Amino acid sequence: MGRYILRRLVFAIPTLLGISVVIFAVLALAPGDPLAQFAADPSVPPEVRDQIRENLGLNDPWYIRYFKWLAALVRGDWGYSFTSRVPVLNLIVERLPRTLQVVGVAYLVSILIAIPIGIISAVRPYSLFDNLATTFAFIGFSVPTFFTGPLLIVIFSVRLNWLPFIYDTTLRVTDWETFTRQVRQMIMPVTVLALFQTGSLTRFVRAAMMENLPSDYARTARAKGLGERMVILRHVFRNSMIPVVTLLALGVPTIFTGAIVTEQIFRINGIGELLIKSIQTSDTPVVMAITFIFAVLVVMFNLIADVLYGILDPRIRYD
């Protein structure tokens, strides 16, 4: 097992290098300009913008810029953001807790909702509950967040005036009052995200359970006189978890990169919001850092998912 993990880690290095080259090349080849916002502004003429491009090192060929970036990264330097001229890591560290909080809570909520719904749907297929859950799931994953977000805002903020829709990122939870405010402002973004994720997750749980319910070991367990509840939860559920756990583990990196659309809608200063703004302003160091960290997380959680496989299913052997 240890050797297996080590081997996988060593193989990860060329993978990550490859990913970084591709991302860097795509960014470099896409036209764009950190000062594009000033384009039609005569007080910032093109030659000034060009001088600034030069100072930011944007006029070198992309492969030279890539090696400079890589050399700095090896030394632990992620570079500085062109738009705020602060180290990229500062920006990410500042925003990561927010994203983990909002997207993480949404992820947990959707897992907690999806698993019981999935199990019940599978146990009583085509019942009224299953039909409702299926309808709900299809609505959930087919309605995009850029629709549900503004919809909730119009209903709960504008019409009913119950919830705020501008996320107060300076709020510090110190007492009950600030805690309720924090909860209130998290309700809408978390709902939007959870709604979206729950849908597909429910279908996965249901499908996995349906596959295992008629299996031989379930019949054996019943034959031995185990209660139906025991059979479903201890035997069938545990085996059905193997594909679901993989799916959940592979989804974890997306918690770290945030939710681009939802964070924008509710003005949450998360990683997703930072990523999309940085892409729009051609802030290469920031985009590189976020995408590279994302790549590392994806590779890592792939490994974790594989290891979890072995724990859940002793039949799977490594080496």
Partner 1 sequence: MNQQRIWSWMAALLTGAMVLAACGGAPPAQAPTPPPATPTTAAAATAAPATAATAAPAPTEAPAARPGRGEGDTLRILYWQAPTILNTHLAVGTKDVEASRLVLEPLAAIDPEGNFVPLLAEEIPTVENGGVAQDFTSITWKLRKDVQWSDGAPFTAADVVFTYNYCADPKTACTSVAAFRGIKSVEALDDYTVKITWQAANSYPYQVFTSARGAILQKAQFEKCVGEAASTAADCQAANLAPIGTGPYKVVEFKPGDVVIYEINELYRDPERPFFKRVELKGGGDAPSAARAVLQAGEVDWAWNLQVEAAVLQQLANQGGQGILVTYNTANVERLLINFTNPDPALGEERGQLSQPHPFLTDLNVRRALALAIDRKAIAEQLYGPAGYPTCTLLWYPPFAESVADIFKGCDQDIAEANRLLDEAGWTRGPDGVRVKDGRRLSLLFQTNVNTLRQKTQELIKANWAEIGVETELKSVDGSVFFGSDPGNPDNIGHFFADIQMYTTGATEPDPTSHLCGWISSAASQKENEWRGTNNMRWQNAEYDALCDQLRKELDPARRVEIARQMDALIVSDVAMIPLVARPRVAGASKDLKGYNPSGWDAELWDVANWYK
Q: Are 121 and 134 in contact (CB under 8 A)?
A: yes
Residue from 11, 55, 132, 135 touching partner 1 (CB under 8 A): that is 55
Please give the size of the binding site for partner 1, defined by CB under 8 A: 57
Choose the stretch contacting partner 1; rule: CB under 8 A; options: 4-12, 76-84, 178-186, 308-316. Answer: 76-84
Q: What's the residue count for the chain?
A: 319
Nearest to 247 by CA among 294, 201, 297: 201
Q: Does 84 bind partner 1 (CB under 8 A)?
A: yes
Cα gap 34→38, rounded to integer Å: 9
Q: Does 103 bind partner 1 (CB under 8 A)?
A: no
Residue from 23, 27, 91, 152 touching partner 1 (CB under 8 A): that is 91
Q: Does 51 bind partner 1 (CB under 8 A)?
A: yes
Judged by CB under 8 A, the chain residues 260 through 279 that form the site for partner 1 are 264-265, 267, 269, 273-274, 277
CA distances to 213, 256, 292 from 253, in Å: 31, 5, 12
Q: Does 88 bind partner 1 (CB under 8 A)?
A: no
Residue 51 has, within 13 A of its CA and on its CB side, a CA count of: 5
Residue from 104, 150, 251, 310 touching partner 1 (CB under 8 A): that is 150
Q: Does 220 bind partner 1 (CB under 8 A)?
A: no
User: Is the four-CA dihedral 273, 91, 292, 243 of positive or negative sign?
Assistant: negative
Q: Are 145 and 262 in contact (CB under 8 A)?
A: yes
Residue from 1, 7, 46, 144 touching partner 1 (CB under 8 A): that is 46
Pinpoint the alpha helices (H) of 124-236: 128-142, 145-152, 176-212, 216-223, 228-230
Q: Does 215 bind partner 1 (CB under 8 A)?
A: no
- At a CB cut-off of 8 Å and minimum separation 6, what does 22 contact? none
Residue from 15, 101, 157, 182 touching partner 1 (CB under 8 A): that is 157
**Residues near partner 1 (CB under 8 A):** 30-53, 55-56, 58, 80-87, 91, 94, 150, 153, 157-158, 161, 164-166, 169-170, 264-265, 267, 269, 273-274, 277, 280-282
